[in-house]
Amino acid sequence: MAAPSPRFDRCLVVDDDEDILLSARLVLGRLFARVEVRSAPDEVPALVRGGGFDAILLDANFARGATDGAEGFRWLGEILRADPAAAVVMITAHSSVATAVAAMKHGATDFVSKPWNNDRLLATVANAAALGRSRRETDGQPKGDTPGSTLLGRSPAMARVRSLIEKAAPTDANVLILGENGTGKELVARELHRLSRRAPVEMVTVDLGAVSETLFDSELFGHVRGAFTDARGDRVGRLAAAAGSTLFLDEVGNLPLHLQPRLLTALEQRRVVPVGSNAPVPIDVRVVSATNVPAAALADETRFRPDLLFRLNTVEIELPPLRDRREDVGPLLERFLEEYRVRYDKPARAMPDTVLVALVAHDWPGNVRALRHAAERAVILAEGDRFGLSDFPLGRAAPPPAPALSPSSAPAAPDLNLDRAERQLVEEALRNSGFNISIAAAALGLSRGALYRRMEKHGL
């Protein structure tokens, strides 16, 4: 069986220990098509300029005997000046709550301690790479949008969303963001944070859909050294790491029912107890959550606890799918085409009215994310001085209904093409689940990552 395709393109690991570099390259090869390593940090700022890496792992201490992380924080600053959207994970042999919180306040996305647990390393770096990808998708804005905002679109539906954000952001009220995949839920979370009093401190993100049940307590609440076999040092949990800031809980609707009471207790008591400790740690966080699970499904008590839902949705913001704000397709497309034209140094091309009409009429099951990917593909593959409809991956049109067979007619031979059959199964599972990735993946017997890879393979 062929190995699964990597989820991300490039990763950079910077450490002065050759054994660490070798270990990281082997483990992270499961996630990235290319893992590059460097032992000298002074080479890195020039290397990352232009944003070519999905994630960067940076050692906190290079000088012999250093344990305070100061050198790593200095190079972290240099990297973020070279690439402000970089997702940087600090690595250190001297982890502590103070070091981890300091790393995040300096702009790091997360941290891992060495020697590391491979599963935790993969989960942490995957989360950071996904966050970095999201940041790059938010860069820039079309004219007419709110200055500084990363939310794109001028339709009445998006105006209502912006109004809710402007009212909720200055408060500490918890916010629940609902919407299909690709509608921009993380962008709304970032906008809420940007307009809040907590904006000076970096928002902390955790993808609950990517956190295994065995790591849930440690990831959210932290652990102390010796709490379990691989607990070689203290680890700060995401709730404590977000002190004074916003904690964004993505995919909260996928949190298993039996784990929900633990999150609820922490939010109600405003404190957490790290695994292996008896000492509670107070938390001061504003919680913003997001899910693609429909509101009706969240109201099902067999799937989501009503008391936790009550705690999370003081304010509820529902993002409209792109098919319900078609007037935004043209401006968004114009913005994305220009962005990728500049990025790939391609010539400007005209957009025929007939092509634009077809693109506006398309339902865009993947919403703004799908539109962005379609624009990138068109910029790369188009020829001549005009775009054509074939430059945009809109999927195959449904075949016309087959004529009724007479009793004497022989049945048509089945379509045995594996690629076409796989695409049809994936499309059917997505439609039946309302484009909920977790439900569709479960129906197909796949992991979420495996389903994403098949969606990408078939241009869905």
CATH number where 3 lies? 3.40.50.2300
CATH number at residue 201: 3.40.50.300
Residue 366 lies in domain: 323-391
Same domain, yes or no, for 92 and 179?
no
Q: Are residue 173 and residue 248 in the same domain, yes or no?
A: yes
Q: Which two three-digit tokens encode residue 142?
A: 């079309």
Statement to judge: residues 30 and 122 lie in one domain: yes
pLDDT of residue 398: 39
- Residue 432 in any domain: the answer is yes
Indicate whether 129 and 154 sit together in one domain.
no
Question: For residue 338, what is the domain's CATH number?
Answer: 1.10.8.60
Structural domain includes residue 334:
yes
Residues 180-216: tens digit of each pLDDT: 998 999 999 999 999 999 988 888 888 887 777 878 8
Both 148 and 257 in one domain: the answer is: yes
The answer to whether residue 281 sits within a structural domain is: yes
Give, to the nearest 10 degrees, the angle between helix 437-444 and helix 448-457. Answer: 90
C-alpha to C-alpha distance for 261 and 139, rounded to whole angstroms: 37
Residues 152 and 255 in one domain: yes
Number of domains forming the structure of the chain = 4
- One domain for residues 314 and 429: no
Gap between the Cα atoms of 123 and 166, Å rounded: 33
Query: What string of pLDDT tens digits covers the 460 residues of the chain?
Result: 344 456 788 899 998 888 888 888 888 988 888 899 998 888 888 888 866 788 999 988 876 656 667 788 888 888 888 888 888 998 876 555 566 667 776 778 888 877 787 877 888 888 788 777 766 655 444 333 444 445 777 788 898 999 999 999 999 999 999 999 989 999 999 999 999 999 888 888 888 877 778 788 888 888 777 777 666 667 778 888 888 899 999 999 988 999 999 999 999 998 888 888 888 888 889 999 999 999 889 999 999 999 999 999 999 999 999 999 998 998 899 999 998 998 889 999 999 988 998 999 999 998 998 999 999 999 999 999 999 999 998 864 434 444 444 444 445 555 666 777 778 888 888 777 666 676 777 677 776 666 766 776 776 7
Question: Scanning the structure block, which residue is given the tokens 């966080």?
Answer: 285
Q: What is the pLDDT of residue 100?
A: 65
Say if residues 274 and 221 touch (Cβ distance below 8 Å): yes
Is it true that the peptide bond before 170 is cis, omega within 30 degrees of 0?
no
**22 located within any domain:** yes
**Which amino acid, residue 399?**
P
Q: What is the mean pLDDT of the chain?
A: 81
pLDDT (tens digit per residue) in 118-169: 877 888 888 788 777 766 655 444 333 444 445 777 788 898 999 999 999 9
294 and 430 inside one domain: no
Which of residues 320, 348, 366 is at a domain's end?
Answer: 320
Please check whether residue 30 lies inside any domain of the structure.
yes
Within a domain: residue 71?
Answer: yes
Instruction: Please tell me whether residues 72 and 124 are part of one structural domain.
Output: yes
- 407: in domain: no
Contact in structure between 401 and 362 (CB atoms under 8 Å): no
**Residue 429: C-alpha distances to residues 394, 442, 456 (Å):** 18, 9, 15
Same domain, 369 and 271: no
Alpha carbon distance 86, 109 (integer Å): 9
CA nearest to 11, candidates 121, 138, 99, 140:
121
Tokens of 289: 């959550």
For residue 409, being part of any structural domain is answered with no
The predicted structure's pLDDT at residue 145: 44
How far is Cα 303 from Cα 317, in angstroms, rounded to an integer? 20
User: Are 245 and 374 within one domain?
Assistant: no
Dihedral sign from CA coordinates of 59, 65, 68, 71: negative
Q: Is the dihedral of CA 344, 345, 346, 350 positive or negative?
A: positive
- Both 10 and 122 in one domain: the answer is yes
CATH number at residue 444: 1.10.10
Q: Which pTM value belongs to this model?
A: 0.61
Q: Which of 123, 139, 155 is the last residue of a domain?
A: 139
Angstrom CA distances, 136 to 58, 99, 178, 239, 340, stand at: 20, 27, 22, 25, 12
Half-sphere exposure of 31 (CA within 13 A, CB side): 26
